[in-house]
Amino acid sequence: MKFEDSIENDVVVMEVSGKIMGGEETTMFHGKLHEYINQNKKNFVIDLAKVDWVNSVGLGMLITALTSVKNSGGRLVLSNITKIESILTITRLISVFEHYDSRAEAIQSFA
């Protein structure tokens, strides 16, 4: 897993790519998320367009991110979930995460 972060219209966008399976990258992802929370950033989009696969640890990473952002008074949404939509549906997490078809729609949802 790799990720790149940017800010678009005062929304933190974290673009994740590859396989989300835990490990050092997950720790780095959470570290970066908490840096933004500590800078009082409240709105997050996790763009999953380039994610090939996710396991249970990866799902846990997304749940932990959602919980951290909600606990800080913020909002986190997913975009481009097509490749992992089936696992989100099977695990019923599809109803836990607010999600949008595109990054642009997700960012616009904060307007």
Q: What is the pLDDT of residues 50-71, one digit of tens each?
A: 999 999 999 999 999 999 999 9
Domain tally for the chain? 1
Q: What is the pLDDT of residues 71-103, one digit of tens each?
A: 999 999 999 999 999 999 999 999 999 999 999
pLDDT of residue 61: 96
Expressed as residue numbers, the domain containing 25 is 2-108
DSSP collapsed to 3 states, 23-81: CHHHHHHHHHHHHHHHCCCCEEEEEEEEEEEECHHHHHHHHHHHHHHHHCCCEEEEECC
Q: What is the CATH number of the domain that holds 70?
A: 3.30.750.24
Residue 22 has pLDDT above 90, yes or no: no
Average pLDDT, the chain: 96
| pTM to 2 decimal places | 0.95
